[in-house]
């Protein structure tokens, strides 16, 4: 078969390799000047390409049953694929990286395999149209026309990228769940963020939508001059962005003392005891034993406290609330240019998860982030790209 793979990113490269190994004549059309460009910036240039904890709950989609089928079919084959490619990996707390901690190593290995298999690669070929006539696909770029028996669309998303992939699929009859940025920093409504800028702190987070608790996360938060960032924030950001587009209110309550597991009332008593036991310390000294100075600055700014204020003089309930349930009201999430992935995409109900073939157009296959699947931070998004590509590249009757 003549197979065209549109998009030479994560899932395109893997599906091209599998398809060629199944004896097809394969051509990759890539709009960029090189293959795997986005892969190079993944994981801060280190490429977190897999996670040991490949758990379906890390994925988000309007059709998790289909994700489950894809996942069960291929989750045990991903590391074998990379082993065969010659990738030695480093497992850092369950997060897999190439041993060199360089994304380039993984891209080089994929590209070498593509050269070895003599897969045709056409760079700077942006596909602008696809048609199907008499069982043949006609794929059009600005300067050329290609013909194929099978097409794999692996054009990725709008996260730090541009693509006409969604339009191509719309034209072929597919429908798209609205696309919003995910794994992004969040901007807040207040004006004091420049005070806490630069702080990193271990926290527990609770996300409230229209005052209802909808998700909890924990990990290291990064406090910025516009709001909040960091992996735990990224993992809430998809829900936040979806909610904001539906005009819901999104508020994150930040627990800056997650090590104290008991109630707020107990925490108040704990602080009171600390202040009584250490009467040569100011309240500020006590707080700075476990909170970053800049976080204390923000709390003092909000409560309008002097640095030498005594415990007995503060609104103790309010102080405890700001430490254990700091209210961060979200104004907006960052846009696609800051997003690591997109939430939404082509509905999985429109593809057969056993083959990744379109249910609407025969011999058309879809992979990767273009689909309505996104994962948490930690190698899950590349995980889905590889798993879907391993299926789409195979020959199906």
Ligand X SMILES: Cc1cc2nc3c(=O)[nH]c(=O)nc-3n(C[C@H](O)[C@H](O)[C@H](O)COP(=O)(O)OP(=O)(O)OC[C@H]3O[C@@H](n4cnc5c(N)ncnc54)[C@H](O)[C@@H]3O)c2cc1C
Q: Which stretch binds ligand X (CB under 6 A): 79-87, 111-119, 266-274, 380-388?
A: 380-388
> Per CB under 6 A, does 379 bind ligand X?
yes
> Per CB under 6 A, does 42 bind ligand X?
yes
How many residues lie near ligand X (CB under 6 A)?
39
> Per CB under 6 A, does 181 bind ligand X?
no
> Per CB under 6 A, does 179 bind ligand X?
no
Judged by CB under 6 A, the chain residues 89 through 148 that form the site for ligand X are 126-127
> Per CB under 6 A, does 299 bind ligand X?
no
- Three-state secondary structure along the chain? CEEEEECCCHHHHHHHHHHHHCCCEEEEECCCCCCCCHHHHHHHHCCCCEECCCCHHHEECCCHHHHHHHHHHHCCCHHHHHHHCCCCEEEECCEEEECCCCHHHHHHHHHHHHHHCCCEEECCCCEEEEEEECCEEEEEECCCEEEECEEEECCCCCCCCCCCHHHHHHHCCCCEEEEEEECCCEEECCCCHHHHCCCEEEEEEEEEECCEEEEEEEEEEEECCCEEECHHHHHHHHHHHHHHHCCCCEEEEEECCCCCCCCHHHHHHHHHHHHHHCCCCCHHHHHCCCCCHHHHHHHHHHHCCCCCCCHHHCCHHHHHHHHHCEEEEEEEECCCCCCCEEEEEECHHHEECCCCEECCCCCEEECHHHECCEECCCCHHHHHHHHHHHHHCCCCC
Minimum distance between the CB of residue 43 and ligand X, rounded to whole angstroms? 3
> Per CB under 6 A, does 27 bind ligand X?
no
Judged by CB under 6 A, the chain residues 59 through 88 that form the site for ligand X are none
Minimum distance between the CB of residue 34 and ligand X, rounded to whole angstroms? 9
144-173 mask for ligand X (x: CB under 6 A)?
----------xxx--xxx-xxx--------
Minimum distance between the CB of residue 247 and ligand X, rounded to whole angstroms? 27
Nearer to ligand X, 298 or 385 (CB): 385
> Per CB under 6 A, does 12 bind ligand X?
yes
Question: Encoding tokens for residue 27?
Answer: 């051509």
Nearer to ligand X, 204 or 229 (CB): 229
* Strand 212-223 with 227-229, pairing: antiparallel
> Per CB under 6 A, does 382 bind ligand X?
yes
CB closest to ligand X, residue no: 9
Q: Which stretch binds ligand X (CB under 6 A): 24-32, 63-71, 267-275, 284-292?
A: 24-32
Nearer to ligand X, 307 or 337 (CB): 337
Question: Encoding tokens for residue 179?
Answer: 């696309």
> Per CB under 6 A, does 6 bind ligand X?
yes
Nearer to ligand X, 286 or 342 (CB): 342
Q: Which of 29, 78, 205, 299 binds ligand X (CB under 6 A)?
A: 29
Site residues for ligand X per CB under 6 A: 6-12, 29-32, 37-38, 41-43, 47-48, 126-127, 154-156, 159-161, 163-165, 340-341, 368-370, 379-382, 385
């Amino acid at each position: 078969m003549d197979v065209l793979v549109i998009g030479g990113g994560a899932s395109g490269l893997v599906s091209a390799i599998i398809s060629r190994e199944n004896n097809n004549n394969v051509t990759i059309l890539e709009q960029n000047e090189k293959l795997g460009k986005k892969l190079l910036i993944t994981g801060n240039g280190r490429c977190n390409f897999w996670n040991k904890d490949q758990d379906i709950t890390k994925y988000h989609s309007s059709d998790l049953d289909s994700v489950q089928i894809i996942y069960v079919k291929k989750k045990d084959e991903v590391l074998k694929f990379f082993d065969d490619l010659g990738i030695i990996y480093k497992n850092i707390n369950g997060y897999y990286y190439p041993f060199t901690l360089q994304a380039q190593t993984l891209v080089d290995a994929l590209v070498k395999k593509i050269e070895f298999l003599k897969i045709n690669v056409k760079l700077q070929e942006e596909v602008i149209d696809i048609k199907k006539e008499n069982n043949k696909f006609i794929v059009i770029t600005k300067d050329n026309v290609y013909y194929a028996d099978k097409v794999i669309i692996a054009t990725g998303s709008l996260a730090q990228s541009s693509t006409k992939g969604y339009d191509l699929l719309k034209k072929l009859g597919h429908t798209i769940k609205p696309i919003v940025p995910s794994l992004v920093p969040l901007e807040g409504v207040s004006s004091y963020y420049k005070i806490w800028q630069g702080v990193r702190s271990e926290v527990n987070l609770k996300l409230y939508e229209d005052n209802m608790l909808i998700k909890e996360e924990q990990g290291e938060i990064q406090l910025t001059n516009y709001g909040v960032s960091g992996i735990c924030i990224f993992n809430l950001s998809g829900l936040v962005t979806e909610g904001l587009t539906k005009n819901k209110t999104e508020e994150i309550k930040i627990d800056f003392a997650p090590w104290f597991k008991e109630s707020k009332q107990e925490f108040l008593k704990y602080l009171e005891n600390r202040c009584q036991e250490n009467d040569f310390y100011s309240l500020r000294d006590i707080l700075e034993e476990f909170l970053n100075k800049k976080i204390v600055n923000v709390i003092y700014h909000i409560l309008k406290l002097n640095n030498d204020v005594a415990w007995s003089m503060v609104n103790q309930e309010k102080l405890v609330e700001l430490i254990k349930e700091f209210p961060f009201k979200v104004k907006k999430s960052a846009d696609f240019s800051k997003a690591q992935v997109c939430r939404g995409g082509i509905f999985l109900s429109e593809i057969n998860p056993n083959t990744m073939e379109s249910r609407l157009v025969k011999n058309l296959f879809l992979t990767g982030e273009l689909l309505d699947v996104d994962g948490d931070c930690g190698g899950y998004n590349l995980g889905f790209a590889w798993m879907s590509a391993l299926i789409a590249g195979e020959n199906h009757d």
